[in-house]
Amino acid sequence: TIDDSVLPASPDDAPADQHPDKLPAPAGIKQSVGRGGVNKTGDVKAVQTRLKERGVDPQTAVAGVLKRLHGAFAFAIIFRGHPDLMIGARRGSPLVLGYGSEGSGGEMFLGSDEIGLAPLTNRIAYLDEGDWCVIRRDNVQVFDANDAPVTRASGNSRWNM
**Which portions of the chain are predicted below pLDDT 50?**
1-40
Note the pLDDT of residue 10.
37
Nearest CA among 48, 46, 25 for reference residue 37? 46
Q: In this predicted model, what pLDDT tens digit does every residue of 110-149 receive, in sequence order?
A: 999 999 898 888 899 999 999 999 998 778 999 999 999 9
Note the pLDDT of residue 102.
64
Single-letter residue type at 50? R
Note the pLDDT of residue 14.
43
Note the pLDDT of residue 112.
92
33 in Cβ contact with 23 (< 8 Å): yes
Note the pLDDT of residue 85.
92
